[in-house]
Chains A and B, each alone.
Chain A
Amino acid sequence: MKRVRLAAAVLVVVGSLGYVVAGGLREAVVYYVTPTELQSRPLDPRRPVRVGGQVVPGSLRREGGVLRFVLSDGQAQVAVRFAGSVEGLLVEGQGAVVEGRLGPDGALDARSVVVKHSEEYTPPRSPLPPAERSAP
């Protein structure tokens, strides 16, 4: 009985290992494309894409429940529309990874917006950290 339980446990571990490796091979090798790559390759508009870049300062605004901003990689830009609310700390000048479909006008209709944090850490200069006033 102990051996059956143990074999089941090993099976669960090996199974989750396979699941994680398969998920990694499917998505992790290229987790997101840059706006430049998005525009240089013809894309099937029905297929969802994941695009990562910096939120262009001054582009973030909310209009009637729709969040709009522009993602840039320094060369190309892509406009993003998102009808939901962002759970992470979305701030202009920081990174974001947006998953969605390209609309007919070339803007990305986002299904999810995930914030990408930079590897830089600095103490706040102003008394209130931007995290506290980030929600647009």
Chain B
Amino acid sequence: MRPFAVGATAALLSVGLFLALWVSPPDSYQGEYVRILYVHVPAALAAYGAAAVACGASALYLWRRDLRWDFVGRAGAELAALFSGLTLLTGMLWGKPVWGVWWAWDARLVTTAVLFLLYVGCLLVRDLADDPERGRRLSAAVAVLAFLDVPVVHYSVVWFRTLHQGPSISLQGVKLAPEFLLPLAVNTLAYLALLGVLLAERARLASLEVER
């Protein structure tokens, strides 16, 4: 099961990279910069997924006090920080050439930065308490609350007037030509598979370290 999952993820990531850098045409307005979309959007969706896993596992840990839920919750929080950090970095590398600025104080950017900082805080708080169990509970509580920011991040472009563009894919329709949709879909799938593999491996490592 493990070699298959790792192999399938590696294959998906390679196909995604090929579609993103070779097959996708440039955009009629932003040119080659559209290729940054294929890391930025999948990374953001992976961050949402990791945050959801961290929230669910942390809630189960607070309820059941089973250490295995803590391992999964910690893996989720680490990956939420990793992928939201990647979302911010790739967003800045797109914003500088296209918008003309690295950063803007708009609702989408601010709420995403808050998401990243919440998960960094969630990981730090774990080691702050003298009693490891208290640290785990504190961290789990932060992970549950931090998830509340995910819908705010996602709908910030609808609820507020932002510099960041609105959703290209929504119930109102798809504003993305099919040439861009396929690489985006494959890369999103690849990043979600990567998230799954990393979650499983990180949680397994945590259980091995406790057994030791």
A residues neighboring B (CB under 8 Å): 3, 6-7, 9-10, 13-14, 16-17, 20-21, 23-24, 26-32, 52, 86-89, 91, 94, 97, 112-125, 129-132
Contacts and interface: CB of A to CB of B under 8 A. Distances in A.
22 contacts: A6-B128, A9-B124, A17-B118, A17-B121, A24-B105, A24-B111, A27-B105, A28-B160, A29-B107, A32-B163, A87-B97, A87-B101, A88-B98, A89-B29, A91-B29, A94-B29, A120-B168, A121-B175, A122-B28, A122-B177, A124-B27, A129-B28
A121 B27 CA distance: 6
A10 B160 contact: no
Interface string B13-30: 000000000000111111
B110 interface: yes
Given A21-B114, A31-B104, A119 B165 contact: yes
Contacts of B90: none
B175 to A, nearest CB: 4
B187 to A, nearest CB: 14
B160 A129 contact: no
Interface of B: 25-31, 33-34, 37, 96-101, 104-107, 109-111, 113-114, 117-118, 120-121, 124-125, 127-128, 160-163, 165-168, 175-177, 179-180
Nearest to B106: A31
Contact of B100 (A87, A94, A120, A124): A87
Given A13-B124, A114-B100, A123 B179 contact: yes
A31 B161 contact: yes
A9 B175 CA distance: 42
Contacts of A97: 163
Given A6-B128, A124-B25, A119 B98 contact: no
Nearest to A25: B110
